[in-house]
Each structure stands twice: as C-alpha cells, then as structure tokens.
Structure 1
C-alpha cells in the first residue's frame, strides 16, 4: 500500500493546532456546563456540537478527494 506524497512538510504545531483548539473548546464547554446552569448549558452544548461538526465536515471533505 502506498500513500500519496503531500509534497510539503508541516510542523507539529501546524498538524496539532486545530485538534488542540477543538479539545480546549470542548473542555471549556464540558466544565462550564457542569459547573453553571442557564446560558452555560447552551454554550457547552454549542461547543461540543462544534467539535463534532468539524470532525464530520473533515470526514466528508476527505471522502470527496
């Protein structure tokens, strides 16, 4: 099995920047929703849904290539 060569190398910070940001946002959403009520429940749900949405979007985009 061979993989296509991308043609350029990315640094570790470029590779892990988006997953790290999504993880931090999801953690903020979880902690906020657990510790506070009201608006934090909505914010927590939105942050968790955003992380899932980005993963689904990336999977769909990868299949189209």
Structure 2
C-alpha cells in the first residue's frame, strides 16, 4: 500500500497538472512561459522527478 502511494501520488500529480495546463486558456505565469519556450523541458523534468521518486520508493520497499 505504501509503495502504491509513493509511486501513485507523483504520477497522479503529473497527469493532473499536465491536464490543467493543457486545458487552461489563460496566460501562463512568467516562469512557466520561459520554460515552455524550451521544447518539453518542464515535462522531462517532471518525468525525471517521478522516476526518481519511484525508484527510491522501490529501493525502500525492497530493503524493508
């Protein structure tokens, strides 16, 4: 159950924030506008963070 939470929460967060940003018709904040100028930088960063959390959770669960 703990492993499911550790992996599931970041994945849900990633999907929800991507959906919100994709559906939003307002002007993005200045920081996000700078990031969107570079191709997929924000998406790749979030995927890397999610994978890092998942691997750490898996290592923790295996040593437990």
TM range (shorter): 0.3 to 0.5
Q: Which has more helix, going by share of residues?
A: 2
Q: Could you tell me the TM-score, scaled by structure 2's length?
A: 0.47
Which has the higher relative contact order, 1 or 2, with Cα contacts under 8 A spaced 6 or more apart? 2
Q: Could you tell me the TM-score, scaled by structure 1's length?
A: 0.46
Larger radius of gyration: 1
